Chain A
Amino acid sequence: MQRAFALTGHETIVTSDPAISLKSDGLVVPGVGAYGACMEQLIAVGGDAIISERVASGAPILGICVGMQILFAAGTEKGGHIGLGIFAGQVSEIAAPILPHIGWNNVRSDESSILFRGLQNERFYFVHSFAAKVVVAGAANSWTNYGEDFLAAVERGSVSAVQFHPEKSGAVGAALIANWAGIL
């Protein structure tokens, strides 16, 4: 991730410091682990308030994997948990016979997407069992299919989020990160 940003000429800082997280040109939220655990850890460092404040002020955010999922209102993983509610709708298990969804899958990108500029129908690396399956109103919604359609990415205003791992998606992932860095 840091190397991908280095290629775009941006400095990256790994931090849970509120001041830095608020003032940075862009904030990457790379969620890991289960939905509930990720929310707990985010709240423990005041990350929920920081994200809300950045959304309110139009400061760019990029959520990755569970970092995308927690932007929705709720997740059904392990009993159900409340999310940040920046996007309406819930995150639920993908209806597919083999889970997790692991590997390189195509993304059908929204025509108005900034993230996927020059990256139509490319494969990105996914590792997850849960996903958002709702159309986010007023957003660029990009889709992937595995058993069913789900959101691979959503972009609305200053908030961008991807279900896959651009930092693990080779050259196309680096290009997507560069596209996001371009709006900073």
Chain B
Amino acid sequence: MTLAKRVIPCLDVAAGRVVKGVNFQNLVDAGDPVELAKFYGAAGADELTFLDISASVEERSTTLEMVARTAEQVFIPLTVGGGIRESRDVDRLLRAGADKISVNTAAIARPQLINEIADRFGDQVLVLSVDARRGETPSGFEVTTHGGRTGTGIDAFSWIVDAASRGIGEILLNSMDADGTRAGYDTEMIARVREITHVPLIASGGAGKLEDFSAALAAGADALLAASVFHFQTFTISQVKEDLARRGYEVRA
């Protein structure tokens, strides 16, 4: 009788199609976003995340329409990230049917964006997406941009504390060291970030085995995001939840 730990499939999309590759490269087409969203909704996903990795404005223009079609057909919360640069972008996505939006690169370039979104739409709408990897910064973790390809020299923990003071509802903590490896979530980073923030923490990057999910929860995650293991049906969301329940975690049946 308490809050359930969330399991969230992430659909990387570009030009209205789902794509997912190792470390965001070597993209492989894995289907229609709306159909996949419906499938995951029925399969027990607690939320859905769309990450728009479109390279151009033309490609991105399909996103709003896709979000609207998904929101019409799927009755669970929908987070959309990618390409959000101003509060007007947030307004469009929320009107299309998104429930939350995630910001990453644009907020690093212009942190005031976080204040603008939080003040206008409320903290709870904003998921701070942090792509972090081990690096030569005070915490030992560095923020990266552009899907982990570009280092910023910014300390990941300082950035999280700064962003949280501006107003965020959640943190999507994506380990660029673990992403695509299927070697497990970065439990060290999760545990250390848990100590410096009071907002819910979504673990991302590295899920490959069933036991990886409970390990991330034990480290302090509140929600678990994964892509390829679900898209390529390594296991089902039900199998993940059954394993979590067996280990004593609350999940939504």
Interface of A is mostly: mixed
Question: Quick one: CB contact mask for A101-142 with B, threshold 8 Å, 1 for yes?
Answer: 111111010000000000001010111110000000000000
User: Would you give the shortest CB distance from A99 to chain B, in whole angstroms?
Assistant: 6
The verdict on B192 contacting chain A, using a C-beta distance below 8 Å, is no
The contact sample of 19 A-B pairs, CB cut-off 8 A, is: A3-B75, A33-B120, A33-B122, A98-B222, A99-B198, A99-B199, A102-B6, A102-B124, A102-B222, A103-B46, A103-B222, A103-B223, A104-B252, A105-B2, A105-B4, A106-B2, A108-B1, A129-B124, A169-B75
Do the beta carbons of B77 and A34 come within 8 Å of each other? Answer: no
Do the beta carbons of B121 and A101 come within 8 Å of each other? Answer: no
Residues of B within 8 Å of A146, CB to CB, are: 2-3
Do the beta carbons of A104 and B46 come within 8 Å of each other? Answer: yes
Known A100-B169, A103-B3, A145-B1; contact A125-B199, beta-carbon cutoff 8 A: no
Known A98-B200, A100-B200, A170-B41; contact A3-B72, beta-carbon cutoff 8 A: yes
Residues of B within 8 Å of A99, CB to CB, are: 198-199
Chain A residue with Cβ nearest B200: A102
User: Would you give the shortest CB distance from B201 to chain A, in whole angstroms?
Assistant: 8
The distance in angstroms between the C-alpha atoms of A128 and B6, with both chains bound, is: 16
Do the beta carbons of A104 and B72 come within 8 Å of each other? Answer: no
Do the beta carbons of B3 and A4 come within 8 Å of each other? Answer: no
- Choice from B4, B100, B122 contacting A123 with Cβ under 8 Å: B4
Interface of B is mostly: loop
The verdict on A23 contacting chain B, using a C-beta distance below 8 Å, is no
Residues of B within 8 Å of A100, CB to CB, are: 123-124, 169-170, 199-200
Measured CB to CB, the residues of B under 8 A from A are 1-6, 41, 46, 72, 75-77, 99-100, 120-124, 169-170, 198-200, 222-223, 252
Most B CB contacts (10 A, CB to CB) among A129, A169, A170, A173 go to A170
The verdict on A86 contacting chain B, using a C-beta distance below 8 Å, is no
The distance in angstroms between the C-alpha atoms of A167 and B170, with both chains bound, is: 21
Measured CB to CB, the residues of A under 8 A from B are 3-4, 32-34, 97-106, 108, 121, 123, 125-129, 145-146, 165, 167-171, 173-174
Residues of B within 8 Å of A106, CB to CB, are: 1-2
Chain A residue with Cβ nearest B122: A33
User: Would you give the shortest CB distance from B136 to chain A, in whole angstroms?
Assistant: 31
Do the beta carbons of A168 and B75 come within 8 Å of each other? Answer: yes
Do the beta carbons of B77 and A125 come within 8 Å of each other? Answer: yes
Known A97-B198, A102-B200, A103-B6; contact A32-B252, beta-carbon cutoff 8 A: no
Chain B residue with Cβ nearest A174: B75
Going nearest first, the 6 A-B pairs with the smallest beta carbon separation are: A104-B252, A33-B122, A104-B4, A105-B3, A168-B77, A127-B124
The distance in angstroms between the C-alpha atoms of A4 and B74, with both chains bound, is: 11
The distance in angstroms between the C-alpha atoms of A45 and B32, with both chains bound, is: 41
The distance in angstroms between the C-alpha atoms of A3 and B70, with both chains bound, is: 12
Do the beta carbons of A171 and B75 come within 8 Å of each other? Answer: yes
User: Would you give the shortest CB distance from B160 to chain A, in whole angstroms?
Assistant: 14
Residues of A within 8 Å of B122, CB to CB, are: 32-34
The distance in angstroms between the C-alpha atoms of A34 and B123, with both chains bound, is: 9
User: Would you give the shortest CB distance from A173 to chain B, in whole angstroms?
Assistant: 6
In addition to A123-B4, A125-B77, A165-B99, 16 A-B residue pairs with Cβ atoms within 8 Å of each other are: A3-B75, A33-B121, A98-B199, A100-B123, A100-B169, A100-B199, A102-B169, A102-B170, A102-B200, A103-B4, A103-B6, A103-B223, A121-B1, A128-B124, A129-B124, A173-B75
